[in-house]
Structures are given as structure tokens and as C-alpha cells.
A and B are shown apart, each in its own frame.
Chain A
Amino acid sequence: MPVIIFTEHSEDKIKKSSLEAVSYGVALAGKLNTEAIALVVGPTAAPLSQLGEYGIKKVVHANDTAIIASDTKSMAAIISQAVDAHQADVIIFSNTLTAKGVAPRLSVRMKAGLVTGAVALPDLTNEFTVRKTVFSGKAFADVTILSPKKIISLNQNAFEIIKSTGAAEVIPFTTATIPSSIKIKKVNRMAGEISLAEADKVISAGRGLKGPENWGMVEELAKLLGAATACSRPVADSNWRPHHEHVGQTGLAIAPDLYIAIGISGAIQHLAGVNRSKTIVVINKDPEAPFFKAADYGIIGDAFEVVPKMIEAIKQLKK
């Protein structure tokens, strides 16, 4: 019966996207009159009992498995053991890079229908129908899960974190060891950056900035606002910015609360990756730039004059 939420951690913290998934799972369990269990895999110093503050009463911690997240097969095997042990019917993921490898494997393993990119709680009056993004955010589809077991992978920034009070009981969970067929040779992490997928504010710039040497003001604005930085595809293709900053139809799809686009024309392929942002601000010197049609706020002007003034205004505000 219960709803199990696959809860990810990094640097000894529960990830923000997982807190969204936890809130979603708790809300769904409420609707289904059942309990919500958080499943945490791998050792972590994150204070798991604090998941109680998000409505969780029980945390199942598979802490003895030093398993690598990249090993999708072992990961799916561990999750399915926990699902079986608790006879859960619904499994919730946040649609992270890890989930993209694991949730579909689990779907096959458990013959559980999977909806990835969910944006809302299932409609239970209409069988079990979940709304998800399709056409790269240009539309939604209502997908009904037909199987008794169900998996939902929730889009990041699509569901609000809901706080409650209480402490959760943490129950260690021992899993059968699974040999890994993947040898990790090297890991490169960009330290200190805000993850673009999880960021609630994103400052993005395009070819209008003329060259990589002009990104200083973008980074300064981002830093002031605690935002992540992003860019249009040609900018990444010209190696002005790292590839992982590329957003759009063929890059990352994001849905932050605030997206500021500087010197980006707003081509349909760019919009596809950012149009779910809650507030969109466009700064472009061309009044005809298509991006203005998708924007909430706009400034028609030269970025090299407007952005430094914005930075000043924000500094004033912070004083």
C-alpha cells in the first residue's frame, strides 16, 4: 500500500529536488489514505530524522550499500527490495539525472507503469492519471497508469515543498549485495556552482553578449541573486560557456521561479527549455525579439548598459 519516495542526498544534505518529491509523496499518500516512506540509499551524514519536518514518519535507510549512483541496475535492485519489503504500490522519484537511469529499470523490474516529468499530483477520480510535460514543455499530456504498481518521476521545481512538524523514525535496511559491472575511472565536479536543474533563479545570456569575456556581469548578477548561470545553444557551441549551461529543446529543460534572459532572441527551441519558468525577464535591444512574447517583464535596451544598472539597484536593495 504505502508510497515510497526515493530520496537523494549530496554533500550530506537531502537534495532540494528530493524534498519536493517527498512533499509530493506525502500529499499523495494523504489522498490514498496510506503512509509515505522515504527511502535513502547509501551512507550519508544528512540528518534523516529531520525528514519528519516534511511529513515523513518513516525513513528506510539502505546505509550499508556503498553503491555508486551510476550503477542503475544495482540501484533498481535495491529499490525493488525495499518496495517489496514494505509492499509499496507507488514509487516517487524526482526527475534527476540519477532517476532517469534508475526509474525506467525499476519500471520494467516491477512491471510498474512509469510517468516521467510529472508536474502535478495524480487525478484519482480519473483512474490514476498524471499530468506530465511533453513537446519539450510546450504542452502537457494526461497519462493514465494501467498497472497496479506505479512510478512517478516528478519534474524539478514543479511541486512546492510543504513543511510540517515532527521527527521521522530511521530504520536501517540491509540489502543483498550486488556486484557492479561498472568501473568508475574519473569524476570531475565543478565545485561551488549552483546546480542549474535545481536552481530557483537562473541568469542566462546569449549571443547578444558578443564574447565570453563579457560574462563577468552575468556572473556578478547571478552571484548577487544566488542564481545559477545558463546560456543559449550557440553560446555553448562556440565554447563561450560550458556545455552543461546550455538550456533549451536540445539542452537542459528548467523551470525556475525566475529566469532572466540577456541578449537571447527567444528562438522556439530555446523557449522550449525555459517556458515553464514562473517569471521570465527579457533584456534585449531588439523590440521585435520573439522572447518578449513569452516574457513577464522586459527591458528593450543594450545589455551592457542595463545589466550594470540592475546590479547597482540590487546592491542598493541589499544594503
Chain B
Amino acid sequence: MKILVCISRTPDTTAKIAFTDNNTKFATEGVQWIINPYDEWYALVRAIELKEKDASIGIHLVTIGGAETEPIIRKALALGGDEAIRVNSIEEDPYFIASQIAFVAKEGSYDLILTGKETIDHNGSSIGAMVSELLDMPFISLATKLNIEPTQAIVTREIEGGEEEAEISFPLVISCQKGMAEARIPNMRGIMAARTKPLAVKEPQSAEKLTTTKAFVLPPAKSGVKLIPAETPELLVQLLREEAKVI
């Protein structure tokens, strides 16, 4: 059983969001980078939990990114990946990224490909489904539970107003969210071991770009809060009705 976990690098959740170069680039100065939370907490950790139950499982990681992503790949290896592949490209079009992941996945013939639910910077929630279509595999989005049997996966996914449990044969692609796994932090042994785990760098294959980001915009600042005395919540109710017109 071989699992491929798609790892992306994102700014820390508390990072200041600002732009440079005429609002065409994210301002990276002083920004801490992390593994995209969904990729780490759910996709990767669930793969590690499965491997703890069955040592024959191999966990490979893939990142499409420049050399600056290597510290977070090492961190993912420290948590418990076996080896990693970095496709050396800073291209941001989702179709291009998905194409690169699909190339890597084809070469490695994986049984299971895991992605996060979405990246907290691009908010695309599209790479996993794109990869599945490129590989002609089933795709389960927004999974909250994953168990595996010899030939199939048993997956619970979120649906509007509830959840649904399904059985799907391998190979398949799953995007992971909350519920999948218990959080964990890398230990010293893992960190030491990660230094010598294989990290292969590949050049991207040619693939089309279907979109391009022109510029970024910050939302207008709030004009300030109107405070209502705690003794008179009825005044708030009145304002919500007459001024904001929301109730």
C-alpha cells in the first residue's frame, strides 16, 4: 500500500496579509511559513496513523514549490513521511499544480492520494478533485473519517446538513478535513531522522495554465464599532432592525 500526501506551504494563520509590487505579490517579509493546516493535521497525520497500524504502508510526500518550501517538507518528513518529492516550480495555477501532482502520482502508482480540504492562502479547494480527474480516479471530498481494508477505503464525508459513509475501491483521491486524525507534534527522533530521508527534486513537466492572478485587494476597513450599553440590549435590537435592517 502506497500513500501520496500532497503538502503545500502557507503563511502562518496569524500572518499579516499585505501586498507589494503594486498589489501583485504577497508581502512575505517577516512571515512565518507552515504546512497548510489541513495537509498536516488531517491528511498527513491520518496517513501516519494508518502506517502505525500497518508498517508495510509507505508514505510519500509531494510539494510543487521552489527551494523555499524545503523546511516545511522536512517538517512533514519529521512528522512521519518516508520520502518526499519536490517539483521545482512556483507556478500557482491550480490546473498546472494538479497536472504536476498527477505526473508524480502516475510514476509512483499510489493506491491512495490525500490532499487537504483547501489551502488557507489560495482557498481553491480544487487541487484534489483536479488530480482525480487527471488520473481518472474516484474522488471523495471533505472526508472526516478514513479507514482502509485490503482492497477498499471506507470514508465518511461531510454533506450538506450531515454526513455520509461510502466504500470505494483503490486507487482513489481524498481531500481531508477535521475529524480525520489526532493532532501531533514532531519529536526529536523524527526531526533527526528527517534530515536523512530522501527528498527528490524534479523539474516540472509541461502543462497548460488556465488562470493567472492579476492583483490582490484588501477589503475596506470597518468604520468602527457602535457600542450599546449593557443595560439596554433592546437598543441593539432596535438598531439591528431599523439601521442595519437585518432582523
Residue-by-residue, is A142-156 near B (CB-CB < 8 Å gives 1, otherwise 0)? 111111000000000
B123 touches A97 (CB 8 A): no
B230 close to A305 (CB less than 8 A): yes
Does A175 interact with chain B (Cβ within 8 Å)?
Answer: no
Asked if A126 meets B214 with Cβ closer than 8 Å, knowing A73-B133, A104-B94, A113-B95, the reply is: yes
In the complex, what residues of B have CB within 8 A of residue A292's CB? Answer: 225, 227
**Provided the pairs A113-B95, A249-B120 are in contact, do residues A187 and B159 lie with their beta carbons within 8 angstroms?**
yes
- The answer for the CA separation of A67 and B129 in the assembled complex, in Å, is 18
Name the residue of chain A whose CB is nearest to the CB of B129: A104
Within the complex, what minimum Cβ distance (angstroms) separates A232 from chain B?
13
Contact of A33 with B by CB under 8 A: no
Chain A: how many interface residues by the 8 Å CB criterion? 100
What per-residue 1/0 map shows which CB atoms of A210-248 lie under 8 Å from chain B?
000000000000000100000000000000000110100
Bound CA span A182–B126, Å: 20
Complex contact B211–A145 (CB within 8 A): yes
Residues of B close to A186: CB separation below 8 A: 164-165
Give the contacts of A183-208 with B (CB-CB under 8 A). 183-190, 193, 195, 197, 201
Contacts of B167 in A (CB 8 A): 182-183, 185
Residues of B within 8 A of A279 (CB): 240, 244, 246
Q: Does B110 contact A (CB under 8 A)?
A: no
- A103-B126, A108-B134, A138-B17 in contact; A181/B239 too (CB < 8 A)? no
Neighbouring B residues of A40 by C-beta, 8 Å: none
Whether B120 lies near A116 (C-beta < 8 A) is no
A263-280 near B? 1/0 per residue, CB < 8 Å: 000001100100110111
Interface size class of B (residues with CB under 8 A): 35 or more
Which residues 89-125 of A sit at the B interface, judged by CB distance below 8 A? 96-98, 100-105, 107-109, 111-117
When A72-B132, A195-B160, A225-B247 are in contact, do A116 and B125 touch as well, CB less than 8 Å?
yes
Return B198 CB to nearest CB of chain A, in Å. 30
> Per-residue 0/1 for B222-243: is the Cβ within 8 Å of any A Cβ (1 yes, 0 no)?
1001111110011011111100
A313 contacts across to B, CB distance below 8 A: 233-234, 236-238
Known: A111-B208, A114-B94, A146-B209. 19 other contacts (CB 8 A): A72-B138, A101-B129, A101-B139, A117-B124, A129-B214, A141-B217, A142-B214, A142-B217, A143-B212, A181-B168, A182-B168, A188-B162, A188-B164, A189-B161, A269-B13, A280-B222, A293-B222, A297-B226, A317-B241
| 8 closest Cβ pairs, A-B complex | A301-B230, A113-B210, A104-B129, A189-B162, A313-B234, A104-B126, A108-B133, A101-B141
Which B residues lie at the A interface, using CB under 8 A? 11, 13-14, 17, 19, 37-38, 41, 93-95, 98, 120-130, 132-134, 136, 138-142, 144, 154, 157-169, 178-179, 208-219, 222, 225-230, 233-234, 236-241, 244, 246-247
- By a beta-carbon cutoff of 8 Å, the part of chain A in contact with chain B is 10, 69-73, 76, 96-98, 100-105, 107-109, 111-117, 126, 129, 131-147, 181-190, 193, 195, 197, 201, 225, 243-244, 246, 249-251, 253, 257-258, 268-269, 272, 275-276, 278-282, 292-302, 305-307, 309-310, 312-314, 316-317
20 contacts between A and B (CB under 8 A): A102-B129, A114-B95, A117-B124, A129-B214, A136-B120, A139-B217, A141-B213, A142-B214, A145-B210, A146-B211, A185-B167, A190-B161, A250-B38, A258-B246, A258-B247, A280-B222, A292-B225, A294-B222, A309-B233, A310-B233
